[in-house]
Chains A and B, each alone.
Chain A
Amino acid sequence: MRWFLKFAGSTIGLKIVMAVSGLLLFGFVIGHMLGNLQVYLGAETLNAYGATLQGMGPLLWVVRLGLLAIVLAHIGSSVALVRLSHAARPQSYKKVQPRASTYASRTMRVSGPIVLAFIIFHILHLTQGAAHPELQHCVTGADGALQCFVHENVVSAFSLTGANVAYKAFSVVFYVVAMVLLGLHLGHGAYSMVRTLGLSNPRYDRIARALATAVTLVIVIGNCSIPIAVAVGLVRTAGGH
């Protein structure tokens, strides 16, 4: 065990913790998006999907705690590394002209915390409900089956009608901005992860970079599409408003 702590505490070890947790989170983001895209398949499908997830019972909490642990590992390692980085260059240059780094790579430390803030908001918004006055929680129906209102909740969160339009408009904008930042974060993150884990190879380096960009784009577009589709009225509840 000592060797593992020593390894995990080294700069490369910390980077590997960050990369592995990042990889898992990346996978989660893809899965989460695929689930959410069911919004386009109609209320029934999405709500049934929600019910399945909620119906997992204690397992759901295992998953949630697992995710939390991964997020904490990701944050913890990054905080440790940023502190190392400051210590490694206490005096900065008067002038720097970067050449190879990208906007995405240089803003990881900014995009990260904003994405974190977004995640907290997102949970309070569409899961817990503190940030969503119209949220309907799942209920157990007369037949004992769980009934969820995910589709309704999404629509009421972003549709620019009814009460609280300004707040809803803000939500849409915040979601989109956060997704773009998430995109930047993942774009560099995915590429960096491949290198940190030593999976890169000069032969497919460019392909890897292109692939990372492509998947990221899909995630950004997929996720952004939902609040926008609701806002412009492409997605609405069956009853319609």
Chain B
Amino acid sequence: MILESKAPGGDIQTAWQRHKFDIKIVNPANKRKYTVIVVGTGLAGAAAAATLGELGYNVLNFCFQDSARRAHSIAAQGGINAAKNYQGDGDSVYRLFYDTVKGGDFRAREENVYRLAEVSGNIIDQAVAQGVPFAREYGGLLSNRSFGGSLVSRTFYAQGQTGQQLLIGAYQALSRQVKDGKVKLFARTEMLDLVIEDGHARGIITRNLVTGKIERHVADAVVLGTGGYGNAFFLSTNAMGSNVTAAWRAAKRGALFANPCFTQIHPTCIPVSGGYQSKLTLMSESLRNDGRVWAPKNPADAWDMAKGKLGKDPRQIPEADRDYFLERRYPTFGNLVPRDVASRAAKKACDDGQGVAYEGRGVYLDFAESIGRLGQKAVAERYGNLFEMYERITGDNPFETPMRIYPAVHYTMGGLWVDYNLQSNVPGLFVIGEANFSDHGANRLGASALMQGLSDGYFVLPYTIGHYLAQVGPRPKSTDWGSFKQVEGEVNEKTKKLLSIKGKRSVDSFHRELGLLMWEHCGMARNEQGLTTLLQEIPRIREEFWKDVSVPGSEGEVNQVLERAGRVADFLEFTEMMVLDARERRESCGGHFREEFQTEEGEAKRDDENFQYVAAWEFKGVGVAPELHKEPLNFRYVKPSQRSYK
């Protein structure tokens, strides 16, 4: 299979404008003859559904939560990038493009990234017009903050709830279309499979999560905006319901999955506190501006701290016995090194026995110095709500005692393969937001996922999908096609099977077992041996799952265990592809760190000669090795270089 990016050649700065002109447009009078399915109501899905409705298409929009407003985009804290240059500090579309390509460690498609940078400004205009209350200066102008991986101040934010405010903006736009009858919303409805008719994506099979009813939906095109698959690791900063089901079922029907092993580990999350832990909470990256990361030099001290030994207190550890390892290893960037670098450094400290939290997995983020320098009040103004959040979860007050942090899975750069039009290799199947692979390469910069989701949803997909629809023309639609019957039959069979096992183990126990192993061997650091172990372990867990899982109740009712069982079953298949991808990519880049490929100082070593490509995997059957297709990457503008933060 040849993977065509369909990106326009020539001058990158005019590429998107030219492309928009060259692609076909659906006659406005004809738009109402088309129906588009949009799965997902996150920033990507809601923005796309609202815009498509506005343009005149009939839209069917799905989410598994009880309201579109609860998609996981709501949880994003820090902010959204845009090349507005409102601060006059020399920002430009080109600079944002450059930073993003470099930040992604040269594993993203240049043309996509350029377009993202180009429309970034429109996103802010759009959001403000909708009433998104971004932070402002006293004079009424928009305010900005800086974020990791960039030298300019281009991040727009709404306190620590930027994702919430942007999503509510998109949800409002969506609500308007619902009222106008252009979008039909299906909340509490989970997509369980994709229906392909005549080689084109034409519909989906869903389960109504209240009544349990399995339903067929037919359309002219299907758009997936179903978010990331970080929950493959069980513990992550993702919401409990985040899953790979929609994307994986599409992959099983022929869509290629690109770079599945590219996951982002965020360095500042609250450490695990016990075996019952269900999810991890992110502490904003901004904390590293004023907090100093350290661990005790002495494993004995660390051990006391981790065990919470009575009368032992990190404040009593003398300066001389503290290891400020980021400042020591990266004197120039210090505590402000990028996410992947900071995460690995914390892991190393813990591997060396310096960890201070449950099971030795945690390091300190200490504000004592900045409280001394700036005063408690100034620190409270900057981070008060974060400190409060930390205290609520841990019971410790960061004003008094250093925070404990540890890296956690946060985002997945990999996703379904799409071309420049955001169309997968299956005609009529489009993928947007975190669910696709396109713009972040091997590492995503902070504040750029929100940007990508909204760019895809508001400004890219609504045009590019028209190109496809205009080409195929209005076609008859029926849910009585044999393809629907067949796929629905397979869905029902799977559900019946899950319910009939009546085993002894809970769904979560399998998910946890899988997640722990994935974290251990396919997390922050990976090696051939660990990955090979995983390739043996995953099928074993999967087999046991299908023999011994307990799914009480029936399909015709609210059944949360059944929902989770279906998702875990998919993770148990999908993770194998992730691991294979990680093993195949014999280099270190961005969030993908192969221990065999590092510099003498322990930094990631990229291999551009052999791995400057997108790895797109084709599903060949459960337990069968998928087939690898490569889309070579060309860097015409930003020349690959080794990142250094020393």
Is chain B in direct contact with chain A in the complex (CB below 8 A)? no
**Which residues from chain B sit less than 8 Å from chain A, CB to CB?**
none
**Which residues from chain A sit less than 8 Å from chain B, CB to CB?**
none
